[in-house]
């Protein structure tokens, strides 16, 4: 029986993971559920999954959480704030931690789980983008294990199963990207948040939906892949594949290409990560090859989708550039979602911050957080100018 902490339980990934867990009651027990502010949803999940601990990130909501749990006759340890998130990520009471908080806000609990030697199911790509080397060395030191939930990295993990270190060094990764809702749209100046969040194939949180529309999501994933699979930037390619059936591929020196396919449903990679090295039922619809139709591929347009270009540039620059890129993107995306920044200014805000702020490589998580703060301030200032 695995005992699981779900960080970001109310989100798109969190609820998909709970759906998979509910299908296997003899296999997984929920130790802790966390959310930032949606008290009622968190309490509803607690009533259904009966965890030992429930954490609300916003400390001002602690008494609301207690009341909501009382109203539902849920008895558990109710806590609030950042330190409580770190506690449930590292507690001995759970062997598995799903990191599904959105943004660099998930960094501290994700690192805590890595340091504590957990089986870490990583969805929170921003954490590995801003602190990749620190996260990977924490896992190595603790003997913890990282299983990628992001569908592309999950696909690559599957394609690399049984491939030795020597052969990995000669492999090439091909990340697939749907292209997002604006793949064929000409003028992007008047794009609204709702249009940007209407993804053709996936239902996701609003931040990652905007990232998919700018292709920054693929940029963050290129950086994520380089840390996860110890892969140099020149051996990570991106190809647009609008059907989202092939979730990514690995090419070997003999010309063979291995791919992982499935319906676009995050329950498949979540189930893989939960059960690895076994396989369990996920609830995802099976592919029907008789009706699937054509699978198509094209090169990404890095002139139109500048964010992908800046992500490659940040990975090439090394040091703190990925942390700066991530922070600037988070601020710009939030400004766009609040209708304070035009869609096309997301990329120019990021470019501006990368140009003016080039701190040294962070040596500790505290230094990452400091770089994140400073980059956010600069991004806020530039976004206000671009508004
Ligand atoms: P979401 O917005 O639906 O959910 C985010 C969760 O994080 C919520 O439970 C929220 O309460 C919590 N949260 C938000 N801010 C927080 C804070 N400051 N402190 C603590 N908790 C906070 O997002 P999502 O779509 O589920 O994505 C979660 C992560 O998974 C992101 O990093 C995303 O890039 C990654 N991811 C998502 C998908 C997907 O299909 N949704 C696919 C691949 C990767
Ligand atoms: Mg992905």
Distance 365 CA to ligand 1 centre (A): 20
Count of C-beta atoms within a 10 Å radius of residue 72 = 13
Q: What is the pLDDT of residues 226-261, one digit of tens each?
A: 999 999 999 999 999 999 999 999 999 999 999 999
Rounded Cα–Cα distance for residues 221 and 140 (Å) = 21
- pLDDT band (50, 70, 90) for residue 200: confident
Q: Cα 298 vs. chain centroid, distance in angstroms? A: 24
- pLDDT in the model for residue 199: 85
Q: What is the pLDDT of residues 158-191, one digit of tens each?
A: 999 999 988 998 999 999 999 999 999 989 999 9
**CB-CB contact of 43 with 61 (8 Å):** no
Predicted TM-score (pTM) above 0.95:
yes
Count of C-beta atoms within a 10 Å radius of residue 66 = 18
Distance 102 CA to ligand 1 centre (A): 3
Residue 203 in this model has a pLDDT that exceeds 90? no
Count of C-beta atoms within a 10 Å radius of residue 73 = 7
Rounded Cα–Cα distance for residues 224 and 126 (Å) = 8
Identify the DSSP state of 285: P
Distance 266 CA to ligand 1 centre (A): 13
Per the DSSP assignment, residues forming a β-bridge with 147 are 121
Residue 69 in this model has a pLDDT that exceeds 90? yes
Q: What is the pLDDT of residues 351-361, one digit of tens each?
A: 999 999 999 99
Query: For ligand 1, is residue 208 a contact (CB within 6 Å)?
Result: yes
Residue ranges with strand state E in 138-216: 145-148, 172-177
Query: For ligand 1, is residue 266 a contact (CB within 6 Å)?
Result: yes
Query: For ligand 1, is residue 124 a contact (CB within 6 Å)?
Result: yes
**CB-CB contact of 107 with 127 (8 Å):** yes
- pLDDT in the model for residue 180: 95
Atom of ligand 1 nearest to the CA of 125: 32
Q: Which of 7, 8, 20 is the pocket-test mutation for ligand 1 (most atoms within 8 Å of CB)?
A: 8
Query: For ligand 1, is residue 12 a contact (CB within 6 Å)?
Result: yes
Query: For ligand 1, is residue 11 a contact (CB within 6 Å)?
Result: yes
Rounded Cα–Cα distance for residues 63 and 71 (Å) = 12
Q: What is the pLDDT of residues 322-359, one digit of tens each?
A: 999 999 999 999 999 999 999 999 999 999 999 999 99
- Phi first, then psi: what are they for 271, rounded to 5°? -65, -40
Rounded Cα–Cα distance for residues 368 and 327 (Å) = 10
Ligand nearest to the CA of 244: 2
- pLDDT in the model for residue 35: 98
Q: What is the pLDDT of residues 99-149, one digit of tens each?
A: 999 999 999 999 999 999 999 999 999 999 999 999 999 999 999 999 999
340: its two tokens: 């304070």
Distance 151 CA to ligand 2 centre (A): 5
Ligand nearest to the CA of 103: 1
Per the DSSP assignment, residues forming a β-bridge with 146 are 120
Question: Token pair 């090859």 is at which residue?
Answer: 289
């Amino acid at each position: 029986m695995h005992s699981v902490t779900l960080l970001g339980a109310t989100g798109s990934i969190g609820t998909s993971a709970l759906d998979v867990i509910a299908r296997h009651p003899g296999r997984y027990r929920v130790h802790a559920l966390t959310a930032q502010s949606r008290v009622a949803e968190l309490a509803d999940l607690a009533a259904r999954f009966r965890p030992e601990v429930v954490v609300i990130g916003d400390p001002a909501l602690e008494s609301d959480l207690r009341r909501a749990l009382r109203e539902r006759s849920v008895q558990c340890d109710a806590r609030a704030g950042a330190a409580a998130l770190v506690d449930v990520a590292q507690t001995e009471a759970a062997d598995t931690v799903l990191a599904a908080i959105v943004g660099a806000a998930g960094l501290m609990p994700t690192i805590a789980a890595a340091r504590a030697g957990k089986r870490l199911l990583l969805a929170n790509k921003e954490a590995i983008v801003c602190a990749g080397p620190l996260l990977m060395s924490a896992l190595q030191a603790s003997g913890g294990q990282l299983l990628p939930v992001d569908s592309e990295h999950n696909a690559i993990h599957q394609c690399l199963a049984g491939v030795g270190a020597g052969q990995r060094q000669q492999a090439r990764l091909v990340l697939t990207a749907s292209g997002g809702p604006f793949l064929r749209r000409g003028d992007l100046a008047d794009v609204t948040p709702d249009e940007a969040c209407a993804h053709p194939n996936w239902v996701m949180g609003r931040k990652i939906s905007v990232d998919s529309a700018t292709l920054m999501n693929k940029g963050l994933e290129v950086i994520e892949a380089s840390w996860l699979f110890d892969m140099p930037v020149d051996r990570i390619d991106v190809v647009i594949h609008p059907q989202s059936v092939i979730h990514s591929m690995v090419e070997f020196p003999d010309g063979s290409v291995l791919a992982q396919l499935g319906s676009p449903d995050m329950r498949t990679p979540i189930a893989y990560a939960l059960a690895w090295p076994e396989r369990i039922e996920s609830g995802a619809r099976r592919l029907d090859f008789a009706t699937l139709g054509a699978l198509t591929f094209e090169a990404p347009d890095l002139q139109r989708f500048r964010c992908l270009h800046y992500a490659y540039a940040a990975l090439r620059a090394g040091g703190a550039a990925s942390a700066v890129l991530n922070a600037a993107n988070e601020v710009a995306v939030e400004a766009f979602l609040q209708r304070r920044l035009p869609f096309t200014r997301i990329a120019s805000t990021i470019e501006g911050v990368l140009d003016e702020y080039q701190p040294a490589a962070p040596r500790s998580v505290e230094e990452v957080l400091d770089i994140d703060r400073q980059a956010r301030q600069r991004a806020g200032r530039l976004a206000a100018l671009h508004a």
